[in-house]
Amino acid sequence: MTASEAAGTTVGVVVLTMGDREAELHALLDSVAVQEGAPATVVVLGQGVKLPALPAWVTAVELPENLGIPGGRNAGVLWLREHGGVDVVLVLDDDGLLPRADTLRLVREAFTDNPRLGIAAFRIVDEQGLTQRRHVPRLGGADPAVSGPVTTFLGGAHAIRMTVIDEVGDFPAQFFYAHEETDFAWRALDAGWDIDYRADLLLRHPRTAASRHAVYYRNTGRNRVWLAKRHLPAVLVPVYLATWAAYTLTQRPPLPGLKSWWAGFFEGLRVPCPPRQPMRWRTVWRMTRLGRPPVI
């Protein structure tokens, strides 16, 4: 790869916001503005809210309603397509920021070096530079400073080759929140694309708990079921669901949270979420070799 080849890779940045983090949003945009190389095309989407004043180089799109995280991302990708398109879509949380100025250059180089790289997963660090265990997309939260191939990625900071979205489709808007990344990752893996966790691609993000979201427990329970029903070979569906039910119980969530989780679980069993596109067994084996068989 030459420097000019990497520089020719165009990048679009999608940021979703509920309009309640104006200072953090501006800090994020400032960190994007100082990136090395050609500027990215940046679109900020307000999820059913009026957006604050934004820099002139940023496109502001006010959605008529809150489409949820996957639906909002799909709207951002659609906007990029309709306005000239890009090679790589970068999705960033509105309360994060890029602490290094070489991040977009590294993203361009990664996708140029490996033509089969479909998704690059960022490392998320807190204010002290530490990574929470739940933010490492490997079993057991293995050393966050080690890069390598993985089977899923984090929603708050990732880059996707636009060709992958064209091939496997959008994020599942029905999920609204929770596990939409895993749904997309499984489809990308089944199509033969690589997913790399890159410890050198950093997003600084406040330390938080996933359960801070009001819909966390219910959507987690429901979307796990939908994920299995949509993409696993039939024989693996009950194994996957039993594993996650057992794991949830071992985490000892608060009683209201557990009740909400079970309500979501049974909603997922009761309500269909098409289409069903079970992955191939060779994808199951590939994920197993990568350390995360699709039953865990």
Burial 93-125 (b: 16+ CB within 10 A, else e): bbbbbbebeebbbbbbbbbbeeeebbbbbbbbb
Please give the Cα distance from 41 to 102 (Å, whole number): 16
Identity of the amino acid at 173: A
Name the average pLDDT for the chain.
Answer: 94
Residue 35 is encoded by which pair of tokens?
């990136």
The mean pLDDT value for 64-75 works out to 98
**Residue 224 in contact with residue 179, Cβ under 8 Å?**
yes
Radius of gyration of the chain from its Cα atoms, rounded to whole angstroms: 19
Residue 211 has pLDDT above 70, yes or no: no
All residues at 6 or more sequence positions from 230 whose CB lies less than 8 Å from its CB, including other chains: 172, 183, 273, 274, 275, 276, 277
Please give the Cα distance from 74 to 68 (Å, whole number): 10
Distance of CA 160 to the CA centre of its chain: 9
User: What topology is assigned to 3-208 in CATH?
Assistant: Spore Coat Polysaccharide Biosynthesis Protein SpsA; Chain A (3.90.550)
Residue 91 is encoded by which pair of tokens?
């999705």
Give the chain's largest Cα–Cα span.
56
**3 state SS of 66:** coil
Tell me, what's the pLDDT at 198? 97
CA distances from residue 81 to 64, 73, 77, 163 in whole angstroms, order as listed: 20, 12, 6, 11
Predicted TM-score (pTM) of the model is 0.95
β-bridge partners, 15: 44, 92
Lowest mean pLDDT among 1-5, 193-197, 215-219: 1-5
Residue 45 DSSP symbol:
E
At 141, is the pLDDT very low, low, confident or very high (cuts 50, 70, 90)? low
Residue 26 has pLDDT above 60, yes or no: yes
Tell me, what's the pLDDT at 133? 84
pLDDT tens string 220-242: 999 999 999 999 999 999 999 99
Please give the Cα distance from 17 to 50 (Å, whole number): 10
- Sketch the domain layout of the chain as residue ranges: 3-208, 212-289
At 296, is the pLDDT very low, low, confident or very high (cuts 50, 70, 90)? confident
Please give the Cα distance from 292 to 296 (Å, whole number): 7
